[in-house]
Structure 1
Amino acid sequence: MTDKAVVWGVIGCGGIAESRFVPGITAARGNVLSAVASRSPGKAEDFARRNGIHGYYQSYEELLSRKEIDAVYIATTHNFHYENVKLALEYGKHVLCEKSFTVNADEARKLIRMARERQLFLMEGMWTRFLPAIIQLREWIKTGRIGEVLQVRANFGFSIDVSPQHRLLNPDLAGGALLDAGIYPLSFASMVMEDKPQFIHAVGEKGSTGVDIHSAYLLKYPKNKIALLSSAVGVDLNNRADILGTKGHIAIPAPFHRACRVELYAANEDPLVQEFPPVDQDGFKYEIEAASSAIRSGETESAVMPLDETLLIMSTIDTIKKQLGLVYKNDHLT
């Protein structure tokens, strides 16, 4: 394993890249952010100047042509993830792609196959999984502290007051509660259950732009395990998560996707609370460090967020989309 710093580029100069990835990579050990790119005139230059980044481009190809760049973080809207990841892989770059990974499972399947053929690292940026609190939670489950898991309950939702053209409401940008907020509880349930759901039932409400404003999902797994999940971009939810087992339960207070506290209530034991440093702007550092460590070691995917699980989650999302009547432009292209 080499100790050489991993040199990153960023494609997409929106809010998530500036408010999360930049502070995260600044705090992450062994990483350097070298260049950014945006196809919107002047956006990359403004982004670079605000954040002290040397390189900026209006062309993704110019950024990807830089030989010193090892890896690329994709921070564009969902509808562009497939084409942007594909381009980065074609240029031989390792990729960390913001969640949701793609708009549908077929896109995910093609990218995974491509990355494996080229032996390049590829990972969905589900940053929550890499937080110390979530690592502690997984250890409690693994060691049987709550017995066999029976249920997962999780939701993530918030109210917004934005124009219909905003990415969260715009169907052309694959907006809506499912892909933006629902990915958190869906990925959380997948992580805990470690299995494919046998039954999926979804209900929800679509707004005036045609995307889902709020939706709920019932998933049944082998051995009668159940997940009760919901998401919203028009309703404030309690944003917590609970795992119920045969010998106790684990609670993650709100907001569970930024967990810094986990509570263990095991049978015949005093409650155990573990608190960790607050996850503020630098919360992405954990996934960035994990990705860069894998890249330096020559690994092509993460054991914490494996590609086969990303594909399984996207397949689950496809089923939910169909039940909610959600069809995006990307779905017509695959």
Structure 2
Amino acid sequence: GEIRMIKSSFGFAMPDFMPEHRLYANDLAGGGILDVGGYPVSMVRLIAGAAAGEPFAEPDKVAGIAHLGQSGVDEWASAVLHFPGGIVAEVSCSISLNQDNVLRIFGTKGRIEVPDFWFAGGDRDVGLGRIDVIGADGTRETISVNEKRHVYSCEVDAAGEAIRAGRQEFAWPGMGWADSLGTLRVLDRWRAAVGLEYEIEKASLRTNTISGRPLRSGGTAIGKRTIPGVAKPASVVALGFEDFRTFSSGSILLDAFFEAGGNLFDTGYVYGG
């Protein structure tokens, strides 16, 4: 049948709040969204893409909610994604809460369930992976994933094959660059929806470049020319402000542009074609 909804989770419970641990440390970008949130997000993007005959799909809407704990990071969080064509996906993650960690795909003629979907198979304590297909009438078919290799060995083999073939990224269904960046954009939208901005991302603390060194001036890679009526020479290239979604993403490009000699910025609110 046609896929209508996807549900995916990855959550576990740390034994206690440990402010020094990377999962809880604000200065280390802790929390569940950036630790395990990528697993359910990448999976629902994969399934939504397959339903549309594409390697992956980008959601046109992302809404999220989370509990931000003592250190200001998300300890449990959920998001709803809407994809073009109507598929709705619910994703959740946590570092202070155990979840069932099952991928569920709901369609017009039944559903598919994949426990611990990020393993698929491999050498793990709970045995081989499985895929359960449940019909609308309740009939169930279990497909065993007869893969005994550890999941990490599959990743190593895929990387080796890509290198030998002269490729710089995985072939589908492996995650390529565009797919990885798409997942990261969804995670950023999820964080923005729940109000999660790490201290290191705040402009008040960004007096140096994102690499930690002072900003350099006097670059000559981008030339300058005079504009009548403007006293200060302007760079021959202007940088537009169209799509800086976070302070950190903007600072990388803006600092590089300035250090190369750029000083002309287009801050138009709306770009037209």
Q: TM-score, normalised by structure 2?
A: 0.63
Distance 2:89 2:139 in 1: 26
**Map of 1:213 onto structure 2:** 75
Q: 5+ unaligned residues in a row in structure 2: which ranges? A: 50-56, 121-128, 202-246, 253-273
1:76-87 alignment, distance < 5 Å: none
Matched, 1:157 2:11: yes
**Map of 1:184 onto structure 2:** 39
Q: 1:256 aligns with which of 86, 104, 117?
A: 117
Q: 1:319 aligns with which of 176, 183, 189?
A: 189
Q: 1:156: Cα distance to partner?
A: 1.0
Q: 1:184: Cα distance to partner?
A: 1.0
Specify the SS of the correspondent of 1:257. Answer: coil
Distance 1:211 1:279, change over 3 A: farther
- Larger relative contact order, structure 1 or 2 (CA cutoff 8 Å, min sep 6): 1
Amino acid of the structure 2 residue aligned with 1:272: E
**Map of 1:300 onto structure 2:** 168
8 Å Cα contact 1:152-1:226 kept in structure 2? yes
Q: 1:297: Cα distance to partner?
A: 0.9
1:242-281 alignment, distance < 5 Å: 242-253=104-115, 255-259=116-120, 260-266=129-135, 270-277=139-146
Q: 1:213: Cα distance to partner?
A: 0.4
Distance 1:278 1:170 in 2: 36
8 Å Cα contact 2:37-2:187 kept in structure 1? no
Matched, 1:148 2:17: no
8 Å Cα contact 1:321-1:327 kept in structure 2? yes
Amino acid of the structure 2 residue aligned with 1:233: I
Specify the SS of the correspondent of 2:23. Answer: coil
Q: 1:224: Cα distance to partner?
A: 1.4
Q: 1:167: Cα distance to partner?
A: 0.7
Distance 1:235 1:269 in 2: 30
Distance 2:84 2:41 in 1: 16
8 Å Cα contact 2:64-2:79 kept in structure 1? yes
Distance 1:315 1:205 in 2: 21
The count of corresponding residues between Structure 1 and Structure 2 is: 186
Distance 1:307 1:270 in 2: 39
Q: 1:223: Cα distance to partner?
A: 1.6
Q: 1:266: Cα distance to partner?
A: 4.1
Decide which structure has the larger Cα Rg and report it: 2
Matched, 1:238 2:91: no
Deviations 1:28-70 (A, max 9, x none): xxxxxxxxxxxxxxxxxxxxxxxxxxxxxxxxxxxxxxxxxxx
Amino acid of the structure 1 residue aligned with 2:18: S
8 Å Cα contact 1:258-1:279 kept in structure 2? no
Q: 1:270: Cα distance to partner?
A: 4.9
Deviations 1:296-330 (A, max 9, x none): 01112112212111111111111111111222325
**Map of 2:262 onto structure 1:** none
Amino acid of the structure 2 residue aligned with 1:158: F
Matched, 1:309 2:179: yes
Distance 1:172 1:150 in 2: 39
Q: 1:286: Cα distance to partner?
A: 0.9
Amino acid of the structure 1 residue aligned with 2:158: A
Amino acid of the structure 2 residue aligned with 1:290: A
Distance 2:85 2:159 in 1: 34
Distance 1:307 1:297 in 2: 17
**Map of 2:29 onto structure 1:** 174
Distance 1:313 1:171, change over 3 A: same
**What is the alpha-carbon root mean square deviation over aligned residues?**
2.0
Specify the SS of the correspondent of 1:178. Answer: coil
Q: TM-score, normalised by structure 1?
A: 0.52
Q: 5+ unaligned residues in a row in structure 1: which ranges? A: 1-146
Q: 1:278: Cα distance to partner?
A: 7.3
Amino acid of the structure 1 residue aligned with 2:3: V
8 Å Cα contact 1:150-1:224 kept in structure 2? yes
